[in-house]
Amino acid sequence: MKKYIFLFFALFYFSLSQSQEKKPAFKSGEWLRYKMSYSGFLRAGSAILEVQEKELNGKKVFYTKGTGWTSGMIKWFFEVDDLYESYFDKNVIKPYVFKRKINEGGYKKHRITTFNYDSKKAYVQDFTNQKDTSVAFKNVQDMLSSFYYLRNTDTKNLKKGEELALDMFLDSKVYPFKLRFLGREILRTKFGKVKSLVFRPLVESGRIFKEQESVTIWITDDDNKIPIKMQASLAVGSLRAELEAYKGLANSFKKL
């Protein structure tokens, strides 16, 4: 179940109107930690998202890392140790390199994807299956770069019921995702009452999720646009992620 957490965050998921004349939603040094709970009360684990400025092939880029792991009783029967990394352009936020190394209950994946914008080909190195693949792409984001790309857009004119699209490159394929804006809500959190934007990514039903619309995400309705809560109905039980701690935000975290 943990492999979908970063997918949710990456989806956010908030592909909104494309105004760039605004404050940046994030900066180098931002760090977000989430508490994962199963069926509302049992702690399932933790997830951390962080961003730093680094250099890649002589160019300054943003380097982002997402880690996730199970803890407590959940770890006894389903251990998760996930690592996601992305290097993307600081100005236009397009991915250069994406790394994914996961171990989920014995299910393992280790892949590095390099995006070549001259050839419009993504080179995928699959270290688990010892196989390399070259895939054509157009306008895509990886799981982590999409999170930061979409946070930097304007939400002021977003109307309830609007559906937004994003193409994401994952596991040698391009996946089209749709997001539906449900409206605005005052959310009670450990930090106090927070104005939030509510989204519902349209996910594929089947082995993991109960139905197509089983995931709901709350985003802070401020200049940071950080995911503050996620709720997902699973085939068995439910999974919830809540912001537990943060530091290095680009803008003030507004609370009522």
Kindly report, residue by residue over 29-42, the tens digit of the pLDDT.
999 999 999 876 68
> Could you give the residue ranges of the DSSP H alpha helices within the chain?
5-11, 72-77, 145-151
Q: Which of 5-14, 177-186, 233-242 has the highest mean pLDDT?
A: 177-186
pLDDT at 4 over 60: no
Residue 253 lies in a domain: no
Average pLDDT of the chain to the nearest whole number: 84
pLDDT of 209: 42
Q: Which pLDDT band, with edges at 50, 70 and 90, does 130 fall under?
A: very high
The more confident residue out of 83 and 2 is 83
pLDDT at 237 over 60: yes
- Structural domain boundaries enclosing 221: 2-247
Q: Please, is 101 exposed, middle or buried when counting C-beta atoms within 10 Å of its C-beta (0-12, 13-18, 19+)?
A: middle
Q: What is the CATH number of the domain that holds 228?
A: 2.40.360
Residue 162 lies in a domain: yes
Number of domains, the chain: 1
Residue 55 lies in a domain: yes
Q: How far is the first Cα of the chain from the last one, in angstroms, to the nearest whole number?
A: 33
pLDDT of 2: 46
Residue 254 lies in a domain: no
Residue 84: Cβ within 10 Å count: 25
pLDDT of 114: 97
pLDDT of 213: 57
pLDDT of 24: 86
Residue 252 lies in a domain: no
Which range has the worst mean pLDDT, 10-14, 63-67, 237-241? 10-14
Residue 255 lies in a domain: no
For residue 236, report the phi and psi dihedrals to the nearest 5 degrees. -130, 115
- pTM for this prediction: 0.85
Cα–Cα nearest to 179, from 40, 12, 56, 62: 12
pLDDT at 174 over 80: yes
